[in-house]
Amino acid sequence: MDGEPIPASDHVARYVKPSKYVNKVMDWDALLPRPQDNGEASYNWLEYFGNGTPQELIIRLAASLTKLTISKNGVFATFNVGDAISGMLNAQPHIKLQFIHTPEPENESHASMFGLDNLNEAAGKFLKNLCQKFPTMYEM
């Protein structure tokens, strides 16, 4: 499914580093692309790991991220793709989000979010309002 859109009924998740998360509060740019990402924000497609609750899928995702250092002070943020696309159209009508499966070596569930830059703080707040947060539980 490389290059294919993520189904609207599915979910994406992103590991939020401790620099963007403290006191259960997330920074506005935590779920936006980084400046060097040229508008392509890295996420992971949760249903790539099969069926299960978001918590179960997050655990499978975390186990798969062998190249990423996951801190106990970070957090996983996840949201439904369809809710993000439609909600963003209400939040910022000029923005049409796209979620594409973009697998990478040793990160087969990698997905990309397009449609935002790193400076759109209002869109960042929308995404942080939308997401569910799951603790990383332990150092991995």
Partner 1 sequence: MSDSPASNFPQLFDFVFYESPAAFDSAEVDLGTGKSGTPKAFARGAFGGLHEFPADASSEHSESNLSPSTETDTSYASHTGEVARAKAIQRIGELKECALEEQITINDASQWDLLKFISRYTSADDLNIFLLDRGTFRVIWEISDACEVGFEFLGNGTLKKTVVTGSLNGGPYSAASEFISLQVNSGF
Which residues sit at the interface with partner 1, rule CB under 8 A?
17-20, 22-29, 34-36, 69, 73, 87, 90-93, 118, 120-126, 129-130
Nearest approach, Cβ of 28 to partner 1 (angstroms)? 7
Amino acid at residue number 128: K
Between 69 and 98, name the residue whose CB sits nearer to partner 1. 69
Quick one: CA dihedral 114, 46, 3, 103, positive or negative?
positive
Nearest approach, Cβ of 119 to partner 1 (angstroms)? 9
The H or E element that residue 135 is part of is strand 132-135
Nearest approach, Cβ of 57 to partner 1 (angstroms)? 22
Q: What is the DSSP string of 110-127?
A: EEEEES--TT-HHHHHHH
Between 73 and 107, name the residue whose CB sits nearer to partner 1. 73
Strand partners, 104: 107
